[in-house]
Structure 1
Amino acid sequence: MQKRCLWYDTSPEPALPLAQLEGHDTCEVVVIGGGITGLSTALHLAEIGVSVTLIEAGDIPSGGSGRNVGFVNAGLWIPPEDIVNALGKADGERVNTLLGDAPAEVFSLIERYDIDCNATRTGTLHLAHNRQGEKELARRVEQFQRRGAPVELLEDDLCHQHVGTQRIKKALLDRRAGTINPTSYTRGLARAAHGLGVKMHTQTPATGVIRQGDDWQVMTPKGSVKASRVVLATNAYTDSDWNQVRRHFFAGHYFQVASPPLPDKVAGDILPGKQGAWDTRTVLSSIRRDAHGRLLLGSLGKGEGKPLSYIRCWANRVQQYYFPQLGKIDWQYTWTGRIAFTPDNTCRLFEPAPGIVAVTGYNGRGVTTGTVVGKGFARYLTCGDDALLPMPIRSHSPIKAKSLWAAGYESGFTLYHTGQCLRLLA
C-alpha cells in the first residue's frame, strides 16, 4: 500500500507549470490560497475583468482541495431544520437554498470550462446502517422534500440494487449531487482562471500582510503583492500566526484507501449508478468507485502516523462488512486530508480588517461550499453585496480551546476505528 493520493496519479487535468513569485506585483485583489475557494474567487473576479494575483504556499492542489473524497454534495452535513435552529430562519434558509443549489454551480463551471474531472451527476447515497439511521434519513427526506429538493428514500430491493450490499435496507438518494476527481477539478479551475489572466504563483507562502495607505501589501519570501483587497482562502491549511483564519477553526482529518481497479464481473453490482455514498455511523464511512473501477473507502481521522497494518485492518473490516463478495483486497493507496471544523458545523465568513475577507469551517463540504463562497466573494468585493454568499459576513469570536477540540475529535475517531478493527463495533 502506497502512502500517496490516488487523485494526483489519475487526474486527467495536468498541473499548470507555475513559478514562485519573485519581485513586486500590483493588482486589484490578491488571493491567498490556491484551493477551490481561492481559485473560484479568482476565476469569478477575472470573468468580470478584475485583475487578480493568486499565491499558493505549495502546489495546486496540495491541500484538502485535491485530497478529499470528491463528493459534490448539496447542503451541509447537518439537516435543513438543524441549520435553521442554529442560524435562525432567514440565515438558515439562505444556507439551505444557496448550498442546495451548490452542486449545480460546480457542474456549471465544469461544463463552461470543459474541466476533465471524471464528473458524474447521478446523485449521492446516504446509507442507514441501523434502525436509528433509518429514522434519521426519514427525517432528512421529509425536510428536503418540503423544500422541493429532488431526494427520495430507497428501500429494500431498490436500495440493494443501488448500493450493492444486503447490509443496508434504506438509503437517501439526493439527485442534485454527484462525484468528481477533486484534484482534476481544482487543476481545471486553475487552468480556467489562468486563461482569463489571473497571475498565479506556487511555492509562494504569504508571510504577512501590511497596511500601506488605502492598500494592503502581502509579503512573500522573495517578493510582495500590493492590492486594495485581500482574500484569505487558506482554510484548514492555515499555519501562520499572522493569519486570523487560524483562530476560527480546529483541525480534523479524513483518511482514505483505494483498491486496484476491479472488473465489473467482480464488483459491477457495487454502486452501479456511480453514486458516492456514506453511512450514518457515529464516525462515518464513505464509499465510492472511481472512473477506473477502484473501490474507495474513507473515514474521519488521521491516517498519517498510523501503521499501514492498522489502516489495512480497518479497510478490510469495512469492506468485508459491506461487500464480502469481493473477497480479499490488496489495497493500493492511502492518504489523508485536513478538514477545518467548527463547533456548530457551519462555516465562518468574516472581515479581519477593512478590505480583507476570510472564510473557514467547511466541516467536510469544501467542494461545493468553496465554489459558492468564491462566487459570493467576487460579488461582495466588487459590489459590496453579500447575497451570493451562503451566510452573511459578520464578526465571530475566536474558538476557545482549539487544541482540546482537535484532540477530542481525533481520539474519538481512533477509538471508534479500533473498535471496528477488534469487531467490537459493526
Structure 2
Amino acid sequence: MAEDRTVDLVVVGGGFTGNSAAVEASRRGASVAVLEAETIGHGGSGRNVGLINAGLWVPPEEVIRTMGDAAGHKLMAALAEGPSRVWRLIGDLGIACEATPNGTLHLAHSAAGVRDLQDRHRQGLAMGWPLSLLDATETARRTGSRSFFGALFDPRAGTIQPLSYARGLARAARAAGAHLHDGTKVTCVQRQGDMWVVTANGHTVRAKSLLLATNAYFNGIEMGFRPEIVAVSYFQLATAPMPARLRDSILSGGEGCWDTAVVMSSFRIDQAGRMIVGAVGNLEGPGRPVHAAWARRALARVYPQLADLPFEHDWRGRIAMTGDHIPKIVAFGPNAYACFGYSGRGISPGTVFGTQAAIALLEGDERVLPIAPIAAHHERMVRAKEVYYETGAVLAHSVRPAPFL
C-alpha cells in the first residue's frame, strides 16, 4: 500500500477468510481493502493440507454439548454446506486450483479407530449427512494400501491446491473492485469517531467496518486486542511425481485422506501425481530430522512401491486451535469482527465465516453469522499447550511403528 484510502470494509489478512470476505463484500458493491503483511496465502491458507471437509474436527454431539442445541445445530448446518459453497465459488469464479470433489476418507489406524469412525458415522447419519462406513477390504481398494482397518467416506468433501484457491479468491475480489495490498504489515488499529483507522506502510486506511482474519498469524499489531489461540504446527512433504504405472492403483478415486490417530496424519495426490504426506509437527524446528524420518518410514510402510520415491518439497504451517476446537468470532469493537480457530479445518469454515462476516458487517445483522459473536475469548496456558503438542508429535514420530501415526 502506497497511499491513504477510505473504504467500507478493511480486511487484515489475505487468506481464505479475508479473501472470501473481500469477494462477497465487493460483489455487493462495497469498497474493500485487504492488507496482507506477506504475500496472499502466505499463512495457514497457502500451507493448508488441501482437504475440504464438512463439519469440524470434533463430532456433532460434542459440538452440541459445548454450544447448546440451537447454536450447535446452526453451526453444523452452516459447515455441512461449506464444501458445496467452496465448489460453487471455484466454478463461478473460474479458480484453477486442482479442484477434485471426489470425497475424503477418514482412515482407521487401529481397531480403536474403527470404533471412533463407527460413532462418527452414527452421529453423522443422525444429522442427515451422506456418510458411508467402509470395511478394511473396501478401504484397501480405495487407498491401494492394506494398512488401514476401515474408513469413513464423505462424498461432499474433496481436495484442492489450497494456495491456488486462496490466490484465486484474491484475484476474484480484485476483479470485483477490491484493493488488495500484500507486503503491507499493519502496525496499528485505532477507533476514531465512527471509523476504524488502520496504519500500514506509513499510510492509513479509514473504514466503516473491520475484519481481522489473521488466524494463527497475528503478528504484533497495536490495537488492544489479539486473538487468543494455541498455534500448532503441521508439516507436509511432497514426493516427485509417481510413475504413471502406479497412478491407477494408489488413490485412484482421487480422495483425500487423514487418520484417526491422536497425532494426526494426512495424505493426498496432487494433479502432477505427487504424494503429499503431512502430520502434526514443526518441520522448521529442532524436531525436523525426526519428522522427516517418520515421513519416509510411513510412506514406505503404507506404500512400499513408493519407498524410493524422493521427497522434493516440504513446508510447514500453523493451525489456530481453541480449547474446545470450535471456531470463534469475537466482536472486539463496533463493526469489527475477528474470525479464528478453525483447528485445521480452514478451507471450508474459512470460506463460510469470511463470507458471512462480510454480510453481517455490511448489513449490521449478526444473525447471518454461523456462530454468535462474543465479546472476548481467552485461552489458558497457551505456550505450555504449544510445547505439549510439538513434544508429543516428536515422541510419536520417534517411537511409534504403525503407519501414519
State the TM-score, normalized to the length of structure 2: 0.96
The match for 1:383 is 363
- For the pair 1:108 / 2:88, whether they are aligned, the reply is yes
Residue matched to 1:35: 15
Cα 1:61–1:90 shift into 2, 3 Å: same
Q: What is the CA–CA distance in structure 1 between the aligned matches of 2:266 and 2:403, rounded to whole Å?
A: 20
Given that 1:312 and 1:331 are in contact with CA atoms closer than 8 Å, whether structure 2 keeps it comes out as no
Task: Give the whole-Å Cα distance in 1 for the aligned partners of 2:403 and 2:208.
Answer: 57
Structure 1 pair 188–220 and aligned structure 2 pair: CA distance change class (3 A):
same
Mapping 1:20-419, distance limit 5 Å:
21-243=1-223, 246-306=226-286, 309-419=289-399
- 1:316-353 CA distance string (max 9 Å, x none): 21112211232322111111001111111011101111
1:12 maps to which residue?
none
CA gap 1:94/1:87 in 2 versus in 1, 3 angstroms: same
Identity of aligned residues (%): 39
For 1:300 and 1:388, how far apart are their aligned partners in 2? Answer: 33
C-alpha distance in 1, partners of 2:157/2:317?
A: 21
CA distance in 1, matches of 2:20, 2:385: 30
Superposition deviation, residue 148 in structure 1: 1.5
Partner of 1:5: none
Contact 2:22–2:34 (CA<8 Å) still a contact in 1?
yes
Residue type at the aligned position of 1:304: E
Stretch deviating more after TM superposition (331-340 or 379-388): 379-388
Deviations 1:250-298 (A, max 9, x none): 2111000111000231343111111100111110110110001111110
Residue pair 2:296, 2:307 contacting (<8 A) in 1 also:
no
- Could you tell me which amino acid in structure 1 is paired with residue 246 of structure 2? V
In the TM superposition, residue 312 of structure 1 has moved relative to its aligned partner by 3.2
Deviations 1:116-164 (A, max 9, x none): 0000001000000111100010111111112211110111322211111
3-state SS of 2:186 partner: coil
Structure-1 separation of matches of 2:237 and 2:64: 35
Distance change (3 Å), C-alpha of 1:203 and 1:387? same
- Runs (4 or more) in structure 1 with deviation over 4 Å come to 423-426
Instruction: Report how far residue 226 of structure 1 moved.
Output: 0.5
Q: Is the CA contact 2:227–2:340 (under 8 Å) kept in the aligned structure 1?
A: no
**Within 2, Cα distance between the matches of 1:238 and 1:36?**
15
Q: Secondary structure at the match of 1:125?
A: strand
TM-score (norm 1): 0.92
Residue 165 of structure 1 aligns with an amino acid whose one-letter code is S
Structure 1 residues 311 and 413, CA gap change in structure 2 (3 angstroms): closer
Task: Please state how far the C-alpha of 1:169 moved relative to its aligned partner.
Answer: 2.8
Whole-Å Cα distance in 2 between the matches of residues 258 and 358 of structure 1? Answer: 33
Distance 1:158 1:292 in 2: 25
- Measured in 2, the distance between the counterparts of 1:291 and 1:306 equals 32
Equivalent position SS for 2:46:
helix
- The residue that corresponds to 1:11 in the other structure is none
RMSD: 1.7
- CA–CA distance in structure 2, aligned partners of residues 193 and 397 of structure 1: 30
Q: List runs of 5+ in structure 2 lacking aligned partners.
A: none
Q: Following TM superposition, by how much is the alpha carbon of 1:378 offset from its aligned partner in structure 2, in angstroms?
A: 1.6
CA distance in 1 between partners of 2:133 and 2:224 (Å): 42
Supply the distance in 2 between the matched residues of 1:425 and 1:123 (Cα, whole angstroms): 20
Aligned equivalents of 1:111, 1:171: Cα separation in 2 = 29
Shift of 1:308: 5.7
Report how many residues are paired.
Answer: 405
8 A Cα contact 1:247 1:399, kept in partner: no
- Report the AA paired with residue 236 of structure 1: A
